[in-house]
Amino acid sequence: MSTKKFLLQENEIPTAWYNIAADMKNKPLPILNPGTKEPIREEELYPLFAKSLAHQELNQIDAWIEIPEAVRDLYKIWRPTPLVRAYGLEKALDTPAHIYFKNESVSPVGSHKLNSAIAQAYYCKEEGVTNITTETGAGQWGAALSYAAKAFGLELAVYMVKISYHQKPYRRSIMQTFGAQVIASPSMSTNSGRKILTEHPNYQGSLGTAISEAVELAIQTPNCKYTLGSVLNHVMLHQTVIGLEAEKQMEMAGEYPDVVIGCFGGGSNFSGISFPFLRHKLNEDREIRIVAAEPASCPKLTRGEYQYDFGDEAGYTPLLPMYTLGHTFAPAHIHAGGLRYHGAGSIVSQLRKDGFVEAVDIEQLDTFEAATLFAQAEGIIPAPESSHAIAAAIREANQAKEEGRQKTILFNLSGHGLIDMTAYDQYFAGELTNYSLSDEDLAKNLNQLEKII
């Protein structure tokens, strides 16, 4: 037997999410209205987001926020997720380190994103919302939200970047199976889509355009709200269910992690696994390292700047305080589509600035090498995004071996890669490359930022 699982009972699913902002001495800087540069008030978020979510977004007071019963009931379909001791990987690496991973790939849609999708759909339903919109790139968030919308009887319109709509048909099929309407963006269904299509009929779309369309539809449709799958504080909050379970499970294993690792796109799975552990450091000064693993081709935490920036490419959102590469930054087309985002959520950014969070960058080829080793040792094919966390965990384990000392490593397996096999095929065919990013390339977009901080 090469693995050992630490399993919790259904009734041990956490009853509250952990809001780390309440415990931070230096609170994250406020979100700003881009017109007035004044902090956004909760009411200003209501046209776009459900009120409860707007409230959670700005809540810096309550450390614990109760998980509604209906949300916990749906969590029971796949939660608690297993915590696994990766004996197979330890053996393959011949390391004295103990390696644990939290397996979020067992969710019905194959990733952690369902933790927040269900919560967001619930609050929308509770407030009488009937329709929700969102955008999706590779399709992970769209897939999760499609299932969540169906569970609460909401109509969902997903704007999917046109090139992914055609190149990644399976996630589109998953969304359609759950009953969502999936629209290739740009589309003729919105003003912003029509405008782009009349000017550039062959435009293959971008996340920025898809956001514009989803936001426009939400604002113009009665009883309709917009939702987002990462970056925002309320999304990080919902994901803490991962780390809260892991905390109990590490206790069952009789260990406490020296280092906690998550891959990093906008920060939701990373925050989810790490914030509950970080609270021991914030409140009890406990020794623990927290490491974010990001792609070398999209290095906001390792090489970005801490500054106010827009959340989207088009510049429609409020200004967020974040480590950013600039909202006009166009990352290389790596297969970890979920990590191709220009900025980090504002809570993680503050924690990084205050030295509570470390970051490492990983090259694409290293992630696939790590993924293949992990798959062969543990029997799970990881998502290209999650493979960044695996590669970082392997580095830590190798370092422990060099230093000849035990170390306890915990990482989050944010999703499986069974719908990403084309990426693996390309890796085996030798068709994938690393992407280097010069300081000049980085400066180009950063120089365009208005320096508010």
The site map against ligand PLP for 376-415 (x = CB under 6 A) is: -------x-xx---------------------------xx
Nearer to ligand PLP, 378 or 385 (CB): 385
Q: Which stretch binds ligand PLP (CB under 6 A): 259-267, 283-291, 400-408, 432-440?
A: 259-267
Contact present, 414 and 105 (Cβ < 8 Å) = yes
Nearer to ligand PLP, 249 or 269 (CB): 269
140 binds ligand PLP (CB under 6 A): yes
Phi, psi of 391, rounded to the nearest 5 degrees: -60, -40
* Binding residues among 307-366 for ligand PLP as defined by CB under 6 A: 338-339
Residue 399 CB contacts under 8 Å (≥ 6 apart), including other chains:
407
Nearer to ligand PLP, 40 or 381 (CB): 381
- Nearest Cα neighbor of 256 from 294, 293, 286, 285 is 286
Q: Find the binder of ligand PLP among 269, 324, 364, 408 (CB under 6 A).
A: 269
How far apart are CB 106 and ligand PLP at their closest, in Å? 12
Nearer to ligand PLP, 266 or 276 (CB): 266
233 binds ligand PLP (CB under 6 A): no
Encoded tokens for 435: 């992407």
* Binding residues among 270-289 for ligand PLP as defined by CB under 6 A: 270
- How buried is 404 (Cβ within 10 angstroms: 0-12 exposed, 13-18 middle, 19+ buried)? exposed
- Three-point CA angle 228, 231, 234, nearest 5°: 70
Encoded tokens for 437: 């990013």
How far apart are CB 91 and ligand PLP at their closest, in Å? 26
193 binds ligand PLP (CB under 6 A): no
Assign 3-class secondary structure to 99-167.
Answer: EEEEEHHHCCCCECCHHHHHHHHHHHHHCCCCEEEEEECCCHHHHHHHHHHHHCCCEEEEEEEHHHHHH
164 binds ligand PLP (CB under 6 A): no
Contact present, 327 and 343 (Cβ < 8 Å) = yes
Residue with tokens 């409860």: 52
How far apart are CB 140 and ligand PLP at their closest, in Å? 3
Nearer to ligand PLP, 193 or 345 (CB): 345
* Binding residues among 199-218 for ligand PLP as defined by CB under 6 A: none
Q: Which stretch binds ligand PLP (CB under 6 A): 66-74, 200-208, 263-271, 445-453?
A: 263-271
Residue with tokens 């990733």: 111
Q: Which stretch binds ligand PLP (CB under 6 A): 55-63, 68-76, 176-184, 258-266?
A: 258-266
- Three-point CA angle 397, 401, 407, nearest 5°: 55
Angle, nearest 10°, between helix axes 140-151 and 169-177? Answer: 10
Contact positions vs ligand PLP (CB under 6 A): 111, 113, 140, 230, 263-270, 338-339, 383, 385-386, 414-415
